[in-house]
Amino acid sequence: RLRPRGTLPAACCPPSWAVRAGVAAMGAEVSHRAGDYQEPQLPPGTFEVRISVYKLELTGVGFLDHIGASLTGAYHSGLVVANSEWAFGGHDVEGKSGIYKTAPEQNPDYIFYKRVIVGQVNQSMEQIRATVRQQYQSEKWCGVNYDLIERNCNHFVSDLCWALLKKRPPAWINSTADSMASNRRRDRMQRETLERSLAEYRAEFGASSPAKRTVEGEDGGGHEVPNVPGAAAFQDAFAATFELAWNRRSKDLRALAAALEADCPPGEDSEARRSSAERAALEESSSAAVAAARAVAAAARIAAEAREAQPAEGLSAWDARWIRESSALLREWREEAAAGRLDADPQGDQGSRRAEQVYVALAAAGEAAAAQAAHPRSPMAANGQVATAAAVVA
């Protein structure tokens, strides 16, 4: 029998995972002992399909393992059909499937928890074997492709269940891994989109900037990039807007998942529906973040030029007023972007409106700088605000 890489055999979730999404399982009624189930008498060509759900052996102490697996939501599962249980685990052999067979409810590497009856399939034994064989031969389920978060035993059971019945298992079985996988995809999309869009921004506005600065790469090493005006503001606005947009859309995703779990139309793939909705939410969040970042960076470039023209004696007043005037604009633009209403094109109608808003704010800051230059305050008061404004126009 094939086993996954790592310290846990075919584990769908590592024991260190904290309470996240498996709490719903705590209310589930514990089933009878493993192997005492009698399948119903069915007509020839009809087979029951069920899922064996196991808890992980986290401590080696039986009752503690039963409690711990429920708290973490970490489960292993196998699909039972025609008196065979099929499961998936990882290994290091290239080109070899990670799918393996055990006796129903008797996987020796786990603690049997409960059985979930999914339905009945009207197929011959050969048709069922052909369906399993198709999964077995798929590169997707090679043992080297096993991933605790995004391609584990429960994902395999879900796909095999769909192939046989056009139904998905209950979401609680893999909810912990699904939650962490969603977070991973979100972080990956945010990181990759920021890297790409920031590189485009630097290429567009950095040609005339001879100054360089060192940034840390993913490998931990440093490399020089143009010190482009507005780049820091671009990054800050991107992060804040992506978070805002994603938080709003994730609420809709949770509502969709709950609705599909409660009442998924027959024959509709709830997993495909959720995945499609998540991809759309990630793309919308990325587009919103880029739009806000470019709008804020454009304002920061204009502000940086305006600041350089101010008298040294009036800089602290200019900084304080610009911060106050621009903060409301930044919030407004982020909100518009998160709602999908922000057009980042500086030549468009919205771009013209934003430019007017910026120049009004700059005029107010200029007046404050002139007033302070005419009546200078103490150097200590001035130094306290100059540093604060550096990030605003960076």
> Which of 38-47, 64-73, 117-126, 291-300 has the least mean pLDDT?
64-73
DSSP letters, 19-47, are: SSS-GGGGGSPP---TT---PPP--TTEE
- Cα–Cα dist 156/151, whole Å: 7
Q: For 34-92, write each residue's pLDDT tens digit.
A: 888 989 999 999 999 999 999 987 544 444 444 444 444 589 999 999 999 999 999 99
Q: For 315-340, write each residue's pLDDT tens digit.
A: 999 999 999 999 999 999 999 999 99
Check residue 209 and give its pLDDT.
55
Q: Say which residues have a Cβ less than 8 Å from residue 75's Cβ, sequence separation at least 6.
A: 12, 13, 22, 25, 53, 54, 55, 56, 69, 113, 154, 173, 174
Q: For 138-169, write each residue's pLDDT tens digit.
A: 999 999 999 999 999 999 999 999 999 999 99
Check residue 208 and give its pLDDT.
57
Check residue 36 and give its pLDDT.
83
Check residue 206 and give its pLDDT.
82
Roughly what angle, to the nearest 10 degrees, separates helices 270-308 and 315-338? 160
Q: What is the mean pLDDT of the chain?
A: 84
Check residue 74 and give its pLDDT.
83
Tokens of 256: 């969709």
Using an 8 Å Cβ cutoff, are 46 and 40 in contact? no
Average pLDDT score over residue span 208-235: 68
Average pLDDT score over residue span 389-393: 46
Q: For 240-251, write each residue's pLDDT tens digit.
A: 999 999 999 999
Using an 8 Å Cβ cutoff, are 51 and 31 in contact? no
Check residue 29 and give its pLDDT.
44
Using an 8 Å Cβ cutoff, are 293 and 352 in contact? no
| pLDDT over 90 percentage in the chain | 73
Tell me, rounded to whole angstroms, the distance of Cα 188 from its chain centroid. 7
Alpha helices in the chain (DSSP H): 62-72, 125-136, 153-165, 175-205, 231-262, 270-308, 315-338, 349-374, 379-390
Residue 120 pLDDT more than 60? Answer: yes
